[in-house]
Every structure is written in structure tokens, then in C-alpha cells.
Amino acid sequence: MHSLFTTKQDNPSTPGPDSGTEVWTLSQVADFLKISEKSVTRLLQQKQIPGVKVGGQWRFLRQAVEDWFASRMSATEEDDKEPLITAIESQDTAIPVSRLLSPDNILPELKPGPKEVVLRRLCRLLQEEGAVSSGEALLEKVMARERMASTALPGGLALPHPREPDAPFILKPSLALGICPKGTEFGAPDGQPTHVFFLICVNSLVTHVRLLGRLSLLLRTEGLLEGIQRARDAQEIHSMIIQRDLQATMGV
């Protein structure tokens, strides 16, 4: 019988077949977050990161750490940054969004509807682009992730992604963006409709973490989400995002 507390010893960048229930050690979480073990311990002492002690050693459910990461990156204010935020902002390996998002992958008029219907349209975009071999296979993995916990965040934003970011049907890293002007129910923690959907589709855990951090930081810049929702077409939305991303990259 499989135990929840059976710890994999491999590197977190090579998750196992059921990575949603994978259990990490302190050193694996530190490697995942690109911060020191001391910083992780400090977050534990402050009861900010989810973890439990088993036999005197800290253990972490991978999916809980990913969810915590996404929520903190979105919610942290500019004048109240934690060590995690500072560490990610200082990485030289940040991935420019311009490499992964094209106007063809943007739907400015996404219609409200059930979660699966909304996500199917975005998955189909990535199949048409050649980023995945099967839009339905991608949808299945994205929905599996949503069933664990919604990727919707406060403020009308969602960052859906496959449960395993290294699935074989993913041919190249890419993003799809959908804007739902009327908003749609997506399980946001604040109970409000979700308007902006960034579907993250990459083929490695390391790339997934860095891109998630990049997007979360970018989307916290003042007025960007509002501007995306007001824009008239895909090209305008794309230009707005790339300009902000360039400013972040150049530090201007």
C-alpha cells in the first residue's frame, strides 16, 4: 500500500508519474523555490509555507507547495516582498513572456461557460500552434489539476496548467491567453468571476516554476490586468504585455 509519506529522492525537476502526490524534503523545496534551506525554514517558522514534520523531518506535498507559491506570488505587495519574491526577481534565468506568447494564441472574447468548455478553447489554440500533439490530452491534464484545486486567484486571474508539466504530448513551451469580458465562475478564492486566463504549457518543471514566477510578478504591475481587459484586439493585448515584460527585463 502506497504511503503518503514515502519520499522520492530524485531531483524535483524530474517528477514521478503521480507528481501531484509527490512528497518533498526540505532541500527539494529549497531547490524548487531557488532559495536557501534557511529561508524555507524561516517561512515554516512563520507558518507561511505548508509542511508537516514526520519523524522530526519536514515533509511537503508538492502540489500544496505549488499552490502556495502561486497564491503568494500573486498576492504579495511591492512594498512587502518576502525572500522568495526577491530571489525570483533577481534570477538571471527569468523567461521572457515574449518567447511563448503570440497574438494567434490570444482570445480577446472568451465566452463564459463551464470550466472545461473555457479550457478546451485555450487547449485547442495550443494544438493549432503545434505546441501540443493533442489538445484533448492537454485538457485532460489541465482538468486533473483543476480537480485538485482551482488555479483561479483573487482579482479575476487564473493560471491553469497541466498537472504534470513534462507530459510527452507537450512539444514546446507556450502560453495561451483568454479574456472573458463578462467573467465566468472558476472557483476563485474571493468568490468573484474570473476574467483573464493564462494557460501555461511547458515541458519541464524548472521552466514551469520560472515562468509561473515571471507571470505572477508581471501581472502584479499596476494597471496591466485592467488594460488587458480593456484592449480591443489580440494584437493590442500582445503589444501591451510584451512592452511590460520588456520593461521588467530591462529594469526600466
Which residue, of 89, 111, 142, is where some domain finishes? 89
Quick one: pLDDT at residue 140? 94
Residues 67 and 172 occupy one common structural domain: no
The verdict on 85 and 101 lying in the same domain is: no
Same domain, 80 and 133: no
Whether residues 150 and 29 fall in one domain: no
Strand partners, 178: 107, 197
Q: Is residue 223 left, alpha or beta, with left meaning phi > 0 and alpha meaning psi from -120 to 50?
A: left
Q: Is residue 158 part of a domain?
A: yes
Specify whether 117 is located in the same domain as 146: yes
pLDDT at site 4: 26
Residue 11 covered by a domain: no
Look at residues 53, 54, 93, 50 and name the one whose alpha carbon lies nearest to residue 69.
50
Q: For residue 134, what pLDDT is reported?
A: 95
CATH code of residue 151: 3.40.930.10
Q: What's the mean pLDDT when you consider all of the chain?
A: 79
Residue 10 lies in a domain: no
Does residue 83 sit in the same domain as residue 104?
no
Domain boundary among 89, 117, 133: 89
Residue 250 confidence (pLDDT)? 60
Percent of the chain past pLDDT 90, that is, above it, reads 39
Is 71 part of any domain? yes
pLDDT at 199 over 90: yes
Confidence check: pLDDT of 177 > 80: yes
Burial class (CB in 10 A: 0-12, 13-18, 19+), 83: middle
Within a domain: 195: yes
**Do 133 and 221 reside in the same domain of the chain?**
yes
Edge-to-edge strand order for the sheet containing 157-158? 106-107, 174-184, 194-201, 157-158, 152-153
Same domain, 208 and 169: yes
74 and 180, same structural domain? no
Give the model confidence (pLDDT) of 33-84 as tens digits: 878 888 889 888 888 788 898 988 999 988 788 777 766 654 444 434 444 4
Instruction: Please tell me the distance from the alpha carbon of residue 179 to that of residue 157, in angstroms, as a whole number.
Output: 10
Q: Which DSSP letter does residue 240 get?
A: H
pLDDT for the residue 72: 63
**End of a domain among 89, 108, 140?**
89
Give the model's confidence band at 249: pLDDT under 50 very low, under 70 low, under 90 confident, else very high.
low
Question: Which of the two residues, 216 and 184, has the higher pLDDT score?
Answer: 184
Asked if residue 5 belongs to a domain, the reply is: no
pLDDT of 94 reads 56
What is residue 45's predicted lDDT score, i.e. its pLDDT?
86
So what's the pLDDT on residue 212? Answer: 78
Residue 2 is assigned to a structural domain of this protein: no
Residue 3 has pLDDT above 70, yes or no: no
Quote the pLDDT of residue 128.
Answer: 94
Residue 51: CATH number of its domain: 1.10.10
Number of folded domains that form the chain: 2
The pLDDT, as a whole number, for residue 9 is 36
Q: Which domain holds residue 26?
A: 19-89
| More reliable by pLDDT, 161 or 13 | 161
What is the C-alpha to C-alpha distance for residues 165 and 97, in angstroms, rounded to an integer?
17
Q: Say whether both 105 and 198 belong to one domain.
A: yes
Does residue 117 share a domain with residue 44? no
**168 shares a domain with 133:** yes
Digit-coded pLDDT (tens) for 86-96: 444 444 455 67
Does residue 121 sit within a domain? yes
